[in-house]
Structure 1
Amino acid sequence: MSSDYAEYVRRTALRLPTVGIDIGGTKIAAGVVDGEGRILEQLRTETPHKSKSPKVVEDVITELVLSLADRHDVHAVGIGAAGFVDAHRARVLFAPHLSWRNEPLQAALTDRLKLPVIVENDANAAAWAEWRFGAGAGEEHLVMVNLGTGIGGAIVRGGRLERGRYGMAGEFGHMTVVPGGHRCPCGNRGCWEQYSSGNALVREARELAAAESPVAQPLLDRVDGDVSAITGPLVTEAAQAGDPCAVELLQEIGQWLGLGLANLAAALDPGRFVIGGGVSAAGELLLTPAREAYRRNLTGRGFRPEADVLEARLGNTAGLIGAADLARGRARRFRTVKRARVERAAARSTGVGRRRTQWWTPLER
């Protein structure tokens, strides 16, 4: 293949619209994303919980993609799934919110959609989006920490996602920070996400309210005395309005966040941490105490460079954008191979010399 045509294929492929799918515990979002990370159209539906059959979820994904493909020239699909995804980005080994156990999702959807499909861990997809288009842009050694219901994470190093030997790197939320501490749904005790996550924030707020602590009275007033109605966003809203109790709760979550970041810095030595997920909406109410705790617990503090700690920019669309962008690489290879086959078929039918055909052969390996 001539170098001019190779460059043309590369530049064209970088602009290809692709679909990103973000599968969460409560919703499935799908969007068409261009080569600049812009969402051209987005659809959203509830995650089907009445039937957790893998096929039912595949039906929903297929319907969303086909609906978008009616209005856009879609070239590939990227799936961001919460759970363990194998190193080949083909199977969901385990998804906590769905009944996927070693599910061959890539093969199933490729067969139904007739498009290239990749499957990626949702935190990896979000980190990739932030590295490409958001707060991580320009940093070659990036660690992203997503504070949601639990804690997810991902590593981008040298322009590549670090997935680990088995595809499961970045499960930072299940590092033990308090031996024998709070029980975690993973089966262990004292996991980081039990102290610095949306669930941790809600648990602490509800415990204070249930104990009828006077400091929690403003929170109770917001929910008319219904402790079970206290949520993470409500605590964040109260803190932003100046409620001292809510501010203190976020400071505590931030301090645990900073401790975990110091541990990650000791192991990974990144140049930048990007903090995403729903809890990051608290902004500096969370990040200021996190940075203070990070500096206080950093190994070799005072004698080493400190990584930046920044809030993510892309919000809850990061996973969708990242999955779509990762799929674009598969679309590029698909288009090149497809063109190769067409050229070879034309060469055979018209008697064009063998040399032209051979230019394309290596692309199919």
Structure 2
Amino acid sequence: MSLAIGIDIGGTKVAGGVVDESGSILARARRDTPHRSKRPQVVEDTIVDVVEELRAAHPGVGSVGIGAAGFVAADRATVAFAPHLSWRDEPLRDNLSKRIDAPILVDNDANAACWAEWRFGAAQGDPDVVMVNLGTGIGGAILIEGEIFRGRYGIAGEFGHMQVVPEGQRCECGNRGCWEQYASGNALVREARAMILANSPVATDLAARVDGRADELTGPIVTEAARDGDPTSTELLAEIGHWLGIGIANLAAALDPGTFVIGGGVSAAGELLLGPARDTFRRRLTGRGYRPEARIVAARLGNEAGLIGAADLARNAAQG
């Protein structure tokens, strides 16, 4: 049995796992992502630490795949730009190869997640898939005829930085009005915290859940409140879903996939998010009523899709 390690690097966590050929995770390890103000080597230290822990339990691991939240160059070795990390033209594969004795592949984290959902999850059987990952920001990936489409320079699928509101909210990428400022986990928490700080009477449920400390509010708390019937939290998730539907309709006009897979931490809200997204998608879809509509489905592999896909991509590359 060929085993590989997958590492998923996000804005808040570095998650790793030993993955077999069927996509099953045999062992897990996790660390907090070092703050972006830290020098790049600190993130690499964290990755090496996770890999060493996993290889100690499974010494037969043959390859390591890294799914990075950023623009990964076409060589699948260099992270050109990571908005939520300190990497700028970072030769990640070469740096890690000096410290990890195994073949290493680096890819965008959303590419890895999309590959996993196509191979083992919600998109099996559909060769044309678009994945939208809602987490700290928004990551995206395109699969065409069973192959990840990376673009000429390796950075296709960065849907989170499409401009949807001219001169809108400032984004960490340096532009304004990016999609992820309206349909991500950060957007959800920003709006909910603002309501608490404004002492809004409709935010009393959310405020009570964090004892009035707005900075302790998280996306999962908002989702839990919505599931418990809090109308404000339900409305906040519906607003995120509305913006999600707008972006998906734009992507359908450009790419016309058969399936949109929605992953990332925010997707845990399920139909509280996807219901409003489908409604807006149908209203905004170009040529609506005269064309087949793509499916919009929740990712089946959850937050582990990135590490599963990174491991499987690395294994395939190592096997040639």
TM range (shorter): over 0.9
Structure 2 length normalisation: TM-score? 0.95
Mapped to 1, the partners of 2:247 and 2:85 lie a distance apart of: 28
Q: State percent identity of aligned pairs.
A: 67
Matched, 1:157 2:144: yes
Matched, 1:124 2:149: no
Could you tell me which residue of structure 2 aligns to residue 94 of structure 1? 81
Mapped to 1, the partners of 2:218 and 2:36 lie a distance apart of: 24
CA 199–261 in structure 1, closer or farther in 2 if over 3 Å, else same: same
Shifted more, 295-304 versus 76-85: the winner is 76-85
Matched, 1:48 2:46: no
Give SS of 1:291's match: helix
C-alpha displacement at 1:138, in angstroms? 0.9
CA 62–221 in structure 1, closer or farther in 2 if over 3 Å, else same: closer
Mapped to 1, the partners of 2:88 and 2:36 lie a distance apart of: 18
Amino acid paired to 1:270: P
Give SS of 1:113's match: coil
C-alpha displacement at 1:22, in angstroms? 1.2
Q: Deviations over 1:64-110 (max 9, x none)?
A: 32332233211111011111111110111122333322122212222
Could you tell me which residue of structure 1 aligns to residue 309 of structure 2? 322
Q: Which runs of 5+ in 2 are unaligned?
A: none
Runs of 4+ residues deviating >6 angstroms: none
Matched, 1:61 2:50: no
C-alpha displacement at 1:194, in angstroms? 1.2
CA 121–270 in structure 1, closer or farther in 2 if over 3 Å, else same: same
Q: Deviations over 1:269-315 (max 9, x none)?
A: 00000001111111000000100000000000000000000001111
Which of 197, 200, 206 is residue 187 of structure 2 equivalent to?
Answer: 200
Q: Which runs of 5+ in 1 are unaligned?
A: 1-14, 334-365
Matched, 1:275 2:290: no
1:259-338 alignment runs, 5 A limit: 259-333=246-320
CA 47–214 in structure 1, closer or farther in 2 if over 3 Å, else same: closer
Amino acid paired to 2:206: L
Mapped to 2, the partners of 1:138 and 1:281 lie a distance apart of: 23
Contact 2:34–2:42, Cα closer than 8 Å, also in 1: yes
C-alpha displacement at 1:23, in angstroms? 1.6
Amino acid paired to 2:273: L
Contact 2:163–2:176, Cα closer than 8 Å, also in 1: yes
The structure with more radius of gyration: 1
Mapped to 1, the partners of 2:302 and 2:160 lie a distance apart of: 19
> Considering only aligned residues, what root-mean-square deviation do their CA atoms show, in Å?
1.6
Amino acid paired to 2:147: R
Mapped to 1, the partners of 2:47 and 2:217 lie a distance apart of: 32
CA 271–52 in structure 1, closer or farther in 2 if over 3 Å, else same: same
Could you tell me which residue of structure 1 aligns to residue 235 of structure 2? 248
Give SS of 2:130's match: strand
Mapped to 1, the partners of 2:29 and 2:126 lie a distance apart of: 31
Mapped to 2, the partners of 1:181 and 1:47 lie a distance apart of: 28
Mapped to 1, the partners of 2:37 and 2:141 lie a distance apart of: 30
Could you tell me which residue of structure 2 aligns to residue 26 of structure 1? 12
CA 47–252 in structure 1, closer or farther in 2 if over 3 Å, else same: closer
Mapped to 1, the partners of 2:120 and 2:14 lie a distance apart of: 22
Structure 1 length normalisation: TM-score? 0.84
CA 142–300 in structure 1, closer or farther in 2 if over 3 Å, else same: same
1:118-197 alignment runs, 5 A limit: 118-197=105-184
Mapped to 1, the partners of 2:144 and 2:105 lie a distance apart of: 20
Give SS of 1:188's match: coil
1:201-220 alignment runs, 5 A limit: 201-220=188-207
| Number of corresponding residues | 319
C-alpha displacement at 1:50, in angstroms? 9.1
CA 142–177 in structure 1, closer or farther in 2 if over 3 Å, else same: same
Contact 2:137–2:180, Cα closer than 8 Å, also in 1: yes
Contact 1:117–1:330, Cα closer than 8 Å, also in 2: no
Matched, 1:36 2:22: yes
C-alpha displacement at 1:51, in angstroms? 7.8
Give SS of 2:57's match: coil
Mapped to 1, the partners of 2:50 and 2:200 lie a distance apart of: 47
